[in-house]
Amino acid sequence: MPSLRLALLASLLTPTAIAAAGDLVAGRHLAAACRVCHGIDGISVRPDAPNIAGQLEPYLRQQLLDYRSGKRQHAVMGVVAKGLSDSDIENLAAYYSSIRISVETTP
CATH number for 50 = 1.10.760.10
Q: Which domain holds residue 30?
A: 2-98
> Does 103 reside within a domain?
no
Average pLDDT, the chain: 86
The string of pLDDT tens digits covering residues 47-77 is 999 999 999 999 999 999 999 999 999 999 9
| 99 SS3 class | coil
Q: Is residue 45 part of a domain?
A: yes
**Residue 19 placed within a domain:** yes
91: in domain: yes
Confidence of residue 4 (pLDDT cuts 50, 70, 90): very low
106 within domain boundaries: no
Model confidence, pTM = 0.78
Q: Residues with Cβ < 8 Å from 3, sequence gap 6 or more?
A: none
Q: Determine the average pLDDT of the residues in 2-17.
A: 47
Q: Is the pLDDT of residue 106 over 50?
A: yes
pLDDT at 12: 46
105 inside domain: no
User: For residue 30, is it within any domain?
Assistant: yes
* CB-CB neighbours of 95 under 10 Å: 27
Q: Is residue 29 part of a domain?
A: yes
Angle between helix 86-98 and 24-31 (nearest 10): 90
Confidence of residue 100 (pLDDT cuts 50, 70, 90): very high
What is the number of domains present in the chain? 1
Q: Which among 28, 38, 10, 9 has a CA at the least distance from the CA of 94?
A: 28
